Each structure stands twice: as structure tokens, then as C-alpha cells.
Amino acid sequence: MLDSNGATGDAEYNADWNGIGSSNDPALATLRLLHSAWQMVDTSRWWTLRWPNSAISLLGTACGLSTEGTFKLLRVLRKVMVQHVRELWAVVMDRRHAADNEAKRAALKDEWLKISRILANMRNRRGKLMLGWATVQLKPIYTIKSQLGQWRELRRMRVATGGQRGIMS
């Protein structure tokens, strides 16, 4: 409470700020608040347990757990999440190193060499020459595709060696 001299220190801290204590069904009120906490983050953050501060205590309250029980639940959830993320990463790495990537890489190599022959000694706007296939071949496919798209754009613009556009562009 405040008086003319300042705070007196007799303020009560039992106010029901989130409405859980005063509701007919505290678990349902807690779940509604947990749902709004879920809406505050994107899906990938939610499933990797990067939650808003209130979400952990709301989950414990909704399950009727003590502080220790909430801690144990979160520890189990974190173990499951870490295992899930490892499995997802393994799938990504398997796709990246799969045998069917050889056909994609061969097609990219053909297109890379074709464009490098067409561009010859042309430079991009940054003044860089197109790298040789030996330099690029070990990079991930998405990186090669991205660089290839930039060099295709340069080919369309027909930028001359000095950086000026040609008469046909």
C-alpha cells in the first residue's frame, strides 16, 4: 500500500493474476494459458522445448505436479526431445549422403561446366570469376544450386568484363 510517506509494506501478494485460482476448473484455465503460451512461439521452438518462461510452470500446474514433479517431467521431455532431434539430423545426413545424390550432382556438374564455358572469364558484380567444379563439388547440393542460379542470372544479363552491360541486355 502507498501512503503519503511511500510504501508501507503491507501489500498482499495473493492476487489471482492469471485467473487459475478463481476458476471453476483450474486445470482447464491452466491449459488455456498454456495454449496461449504455445501460440507465442513457432512450432520448431515449441518442439525443441524453447518455451516462454511461464509455460513450464503452467504445464506443471495443469498436470497437478509439484515443483520436483515438474522438474522430473521436464527432464524426461528433454531426453525425448534430444533423441528426436538426433533422429531428425540422422535423416538429413542420410539424405545428403545418399546414393541418389550422385545423379543430382552429375546433372549439376554438367550444367556448371556448361555455364562456366559460356561465361569464360566474365566476372560478377563483385569482380569474382566463376569457381571451377573441383572447388565446388564437395559443397552441399543446395549451395551449388544457389551459386548456379546466381551465375545463370549473370549469363542472362551478359555483363561484360568491365562490369558494363552488353548491347543486347
Structure-model confidence comparison of residues 157 and 115, the more confident one: 115
Q: What is the mean pLDDT of the chain?
A: 80
Query: Residue 138 class from Cβ within 10 Å (0-12 exposed, 13-18 middle, 19+ buried)?
Result: exposed
pLDDT cut 90: percent of the chain above it: 10
What burial class does residue 134 get, using C-beta atoms within 10 Å of its C-beta: 0-12 exposed, 13-18 middle, 19+ buried? Answer: exposed
Residue 98 gets the label, from left (phi > 0), alpha (psi -120 to 50) or beta, of beta
Q: Which three cell numbers stand for residue 139?
A: 559443397
What span, in angstroms and rounded, lies between the C-alpha atoms of 65 and 73?
9
CA distance 20 to 30: 6
Per-residue pLDDT tens over the stretch 141-156: 888 888 888 888 877 7
What pLDDT shows up at residue 69?
93
Give me the residue spans of the domains in the chain: 2-96, 101-157
Average pLDDT over residues 29-45: 85
Looking at per-residue confidence, does 165 or 85 come out higher?
85
pLDDT in tens, 70-87: 999 999 999 999 998 899
pLDDT at 99: 63
Contacts with 152 (C-beta within 8 Å, 6 or more apart), sequence order: 115
Task: Quick: pLDDT tens for 43-53.
Answer: 888 888 888 88
Written in H, E and C, the secondary structure of the chain is CEECCEECCCCCCCCCCCCCCCCCCHHHHHHHHHHHHHCCCCHHHHHCCCCCHHHHHHHHHHCCCCHHHHHHHHHHHHHHHHHHHHHHHHHHHHHHCCCCHHHHHHHHHHHHHHHHHHHCCCECCCCCECCCHHHHCCCCHHHHHHHHHHHHHHHHHCECCCCCECCCC
The overall pTM is greater than 0.75: no
